Amino acid sequence: MTTEQIIILVLGIVIAALVAALIVLLIKYKGAKRAADGSHAAEVYMKDGVRYTKNTAIERAGEAAITHAEGDFVLATGKTYRAKKGGELAPGAYTVLAANESAQAFKLRVGGYVRNFVHGDALVLHENEEICAVSVPVILR
């Protein structure tokens, strides 16, 4: 190998290492920015059949994704659900999201009373409490 070939080889290796380091830094920057914005999903865990979240930040309208994520529960319009430990719907803290993008405000019957909610509001369901989507389908996240 000539001196020119060795220099070109070394420069190629250095440039490849710099590109790889740049990609890693960009990924870390985006993750840190997402965490600072609060737009990451809340960590959800179950304890004794009750649903808890580690992140209590409330998602606001426009920021919350309406796509289904793991652990989401969809309330069909007009159907009543009961929060039970070990049941279909666990008691605990939820963020309520309208399943329809055009509906930012909607009504839910919680514990026998109809209340107005806005996309991204927080809701706590207690043991044996009933909930029903009145106006539009709702996602509990």
Least Cα distance to 66 among 132, 135, 120, 124 occurs for 120
Pairing of strands 92-98, 122-125: antiparallel
pLDDT surpasses 70 at 63: no
Q: Which pLDDT belongs to residue 58?
A: 40
CA 6/CA 26 separation, integer angstroms: 30
The 10s digit of each residue's pLDDT in 75-118 is 999 999 999 998 889 998 998 888 876 778 899 999 889 999 99
Averaged pLDDT, 38-53:
59
Averaged pLDDT, 112-131:
91
Confidence of residue 43 (pLDDT cuts 50, 70, 90): low
CA 136/CA 76 separation, integer angstroms: 8
Number of residues in the chain: 141
CA 58/CA 122 separation, integer angstroms: 6
Least confident of 62-66, 90-94, 113-117, 134-138: 62-66
Q: Which pLDDT belongs to residue 109?
A: 94
Residues near 94 by Cβ (< 8 Å), separated by ≥ 6?
51, 73, 122, 123, 124, 125, 140, 141
The residue with greater pLDDT, 40 or 22, is 22
Confidence of residue 57 (pLDDT cuts 50, 70, 90): very low
> Is 0.85 topped by the overall pTM?
no
Averaged pLDDT, 3-23:
95
Bridge partners (DSSP) listed for residue 117: 106
**Distances 88 to 20, 74, 106, 127, 132 between C-alpha atoms, Å:** 46, 11, 23, 12, 14
pLDDT surpasses 60 at 64: no
Q: Which pLDDT belongs to residue 44?
A: 65
